[in-house]
Structure 1
Amino acid sequence: MKRKIGSVLLSMAMIGVLLGGCGGPQASEEGNAPAEAQTEDAQEDAGAPAEDTGAAPPENTASAGGTDILSTGPNGEKATPASEITLTDEEIEQIRNGGYKAAISLHYGGNDWATSQLEGLKATFEMLGIELVATTDADFSAEQQVSDIETIMAKNPDVIISIPTDATATADAFQKAAQDGVKLVFMDNVPAGMTAGEDYVSCVSADNYGNGCVAADLMGEALGGKGKIGMVYYDADFFVTNQRDDGFRKTMADKFPDIEIVTEQGFTDENGCAEQGDAILTQYPMINGIYASWDVPMEGVLSSVKASGLTSEEVKLTTIDLGNNIAKEIAQGSVVGLGAQLPYDQGVAEAMLAAYSLLGKEAPTYVAVSAKRVEQSNILEAYEDVYHAEAPDWLQKAAGK
């Protein structure tokens, strides 16, 4: 896939550094400002800086998929758009001369979301001259992540980027890292008992509530405002998935009162959701639609729907996250659409916030990237926005291009 060259690379051009293979986003169809961080000088050259739209209250679903960010942070914080996380040329040069080291501790690295976020992190760390000394994958195990953090600490990083597998079980390990002077930037969630600006720098997320609203809008429109649907939700106390599921439920209730959620099936194993799909179809063989918390569980649901012989006209499916497999299903019409995160942009913002901490620059406590509506009509453009890469041949073929 051919990478697009974009805004984050302006800073490298200004300091004479070339970074091949990575690029920046374009504005989305809905008019979103580019989510990837620019240098402040570049923004001044282009005109006024990006407008701070802030965070609408969760009960306001009118702008889901647009420029407003509907989510609030783990502690109720108002969101700062990721596009506002900027560095001057002088600050970039200062970071490049600092000899800094970073590490990444993932809760799970085996999906397209993690892969894309890692690409954004690595590209930005390389641009900033920050050495990446470790990348770990806890495979959803809190015990493993605690061990990973101990291993990382032996490499003496200046900053750790992480998403806690369990906000409570990993809290002591992260707190110890903070007490040892390591700067912490979190993805999506923060450990229990930790305070932004004191124990950690910031938390970066997608607009998960907004993405849930997008999935609901797509479902409601596909059903013409009437029908019976089921939910397949992540049955765990995990902040971002709880937000997206709440956004879906509330939007369905507020905007589509004649669509009834007749069943909710919880899961803990994302790879086993054909079982939840089977349960819904057995109990409600005339179900009109099913929502799943993200793309991998939806793959299981979709396999169940296909095995039952039901068509995409009979059962409408919506979800969150533009994984490659679900992208193909949207292009072919098997899935109506989804609310997409922009994980590459999140990775860029996380690395830039790491630089903020190393500079002693004040950072917003919660940073978010707008939700993106994805459906068959814009699948190729949306893929490029999400992955910062041209849509691959297999997706173009599936879309009939």
Structure 2
Amino acid sequence: MKKKILSVFLATAMVAAMAAGCGSVKTDNEVSASESGEKAAGKDVYSEEVKIAFLPNVIGDSVAAAWADGMETYLSEFKNVTFDVYDGEASVDTEVQIMDELINQEYDAIILQATDAAGLASSVDKAEGAGIPVITVNMDADTTHTGMVTMVDVEAGEKVAEAIGESLGGEGEVVIISATPGASKGEQLDKGFKSVMEEKYPNIEILDEQSGEWLTENANTVMTNFLTKYPEIDAVFCHNDAMAEGAAEAAKAAGKDIQIWGCDGETKMLEYIEQGLCTGTIYTDVKNQGAVSAQFAMYAISSGITGANLSETPIVKMSSITVTGENVGQISENMRW
């Protein structure tokens, strides 16, 4: 599956194009259509009724809640837009079922956090085939679709590996508490982390890797088992902050001083860093990411673009900040989520 990586500024350009009343971004199919005098049929998102659905992996997650907040804040400016949030219940089957319902209810766009990249591919194809653009957030689907808005993933793994490798002087032992198997974000984080470790820090051994399934409680159990199994652990990389918080509690209970890194930048994690319980995280303004996702969806509805118009999935990558105890104070209250 091919993807085209675009900068975070794309969303601003999209909205500007909407405000100007024209869609200046051309895809392969649009170029051919324009030459034959045809044009993709979009919707007037300022006057016609618009329905947008957000389907996260699980609705109780802090990241999903911040995304939804950002989406709702942006979309509330459009009085003609209905915005609905559904709970994927961390289940592929549930997300597939809800996707079918959203297609049958003829939503104008779906913003999806795909629990499993392969497991949701057919559902995304079905939606796109019905003319419903699908925008994925963080966790992608294994098929070409209208777009994706994501935190840095490979780059985040690289940044954490660099920080750990440098602080350990190139020698030590680490463990990984990873995402649910099949989650694209986890695979990308792993890719970045392991590539840097292999290339730059060959004397740092990755002792073990187990899934914490994104959950604090599960990560606490995994970390407790790691601490029992391995007498010496210098650092742990967790694929999200919730799991890092669980690992931190396990290390604290065992009286161990271990570097603990997460990835997201949620408020609780920043507090753990301030308290010295965790070492660092890769912060993203997730509320803004939600707003960008909603902007992307509105652009797609307005322009009539779907995956059928594209040879590659466009990707908007959000900017990030590596946060440690040295600079956590720079993440002000209005930036926290």
Q: Given the two structures, how large is their TM-score scaled by the length of structure 2? A: 0.81
CA distance in 1, matches of 2:4, 2:96: 29
Identity %: 22
CA distance in 2, matches of 1:97, 1:203: 26
The match for 1:322 among 227, 250, 265 is 265
Aligned-residue offset at 1:146: 2.2
Aligned-residue offset at 1:76: 4.3
CA distance in 1, matches of 2:284, 2:127: 29
Number of the residue aligned with 1:255: 200
Number of the residue aligned with 1:237: 182
Number of the residue aligned with 1:293: 239
State whether residues 176 and 236 of structure 2, in contact with CA within 8 Å, keep that contact through their aligned partners in structure 1. yes
Instruction: Report the AA paired with residue 373 of structure 1.
Output: T
Instruction: Report the AA paired with residue 90 of structure 1.
Output: A
CA distance in 2, matches of 1:373, 1:130: 39
State whether residues 140 and 148 of structure 2, in contact with CA within 8 Å, keep that contact through their aligned partners in structure 1. yes
Instruction: Report the AA paired with residue 137 of structure 1.
Output: D
Structure 2 residues without counterparts, runs of 5 or longer = 23-42
Aligned-residue offset at 1:265: 2.7
Q: Which moved more, 1:375-384 or 1:117-126?
A: 375-384
Asked whether 1:373 is paired with 2:322, we answer: yes
Aligned-residue offset at 1:206: 1.3
Report the 3-state secondary structure (helix = DSSP H, G, I; strand = E; otherwise coil) of the residue aligned with 1:290: strand
CA distance in 2, matches of 1:382, 1:221: 24
Report the 3-state secondary structure (helix = DSSP H, G, I; strand = E; otherwise coil) of the residue aligned with 1:127: coil
Instruction: Give 1:84-103 correspondences, 5 Å limit.
Output: 84-85=10-11, 86=13, 87-88=15-16, 89-91=19-21, 95-103=45-53
Aligned-residue offset at 1:191: 3.3
Asked whether 1:350 is paired with 2:276, we answer: no
State whether residues 214 and 242 of structure 2, in contact with CA within 8 Å, keep that contact through their aligned partners in structure 1. no
Instruction: Report the AA paired with residue 260 of structure 2.
Output: L
Number of the residue aligned with 1:181: 131
State whether residues 82 and 346 of structure 1, in contact with CA within 8 Å, keep that contact through their aligned partners in structure 2. no
Distance 1:290 1:190, change over 3 A: closer
State whether residues 164 and 191 of structure 1, in contact with CA within 8 Å, keep that contact through their aligned partners in structure 2. yes
Aligned-residue offset at 1:300: 1.9
Aligned-residue offset at 1:338: 1.4
Instruction: Report the AA paired with residue 98 of structure 2.
Output: D
CA distance in 1, matches of 2:8, 2:48: 24
Instruction: Give 1:162-177 correspondences, 5 Å limit.
Output: 162-177=112-127
Distance 1:260 1:81, change over 3 A: same
The match for 2:250 among 291, 304, 313 is 304
The match for 1:161 among 111, 126, 132 is 111
Moved over 4 A (4+): 361-364
Number of the residue aligned with 1:67: none
The match for 1:281 among 227, 236, 242 is 227
Number of the residue aligned with 1:116: 66
State whether residues 267 and 336 of structure 2, in contact with CA within 8 Å, keep that contact through their aligned partners in structure 1. no
Aligned-residue offset at 1:81: 0.9
Aligned-residue offset at 1:188: 2.6
CA distance in 1, matches of 2:125, 2:255: 51
The match for 2:171 among 219, 223, 226 is 226
CA RMSD of aligned residues (A): 2.6
State whether residues 133 and 157 of structure 1, in contact with CA within 8 Å, keep that contact through their aligned partners in structure 2. no
Instruction: Report the AA paired with residue 156 of structure 2.
Output: N
The match for 2:84 among 104, 129, 134 is 134
Report the 3-state secondary structure (helix = DSSP H, G, I; strand = E; otherwise coil) of the residue aligned with 1:79: strand
Note the alpha carbon deviations across 1:179-206, whole angstroms, 9 max, x for none: 33222212234434x32xxxx3111111
Q: Given the two structures, how large is their TM-score scaled by the length of structure 1? A: 0.69
Report the 3-state secondary structure (helix = DSSP H, G, I; strand = E; otherwise coil) of the residue aligned with 2:149: strand
Structure 1 residues without counterparts, runs of 5 or longer = 1-74, 393-401
Instruction: Report the AA paired with residue 140 of structure 1.
Output: A
Number of the residue aligned with 2:97: 147
Distance 1:175 1:251, change over 3 A: same
Aligned-residue offset at 1:234: 2.5
Note the alpha carbon deviations across 1:121-167, whole angstroms, 9 max, x for none: 11222234452342101111112112222343454321111122223
Aligned length: 306
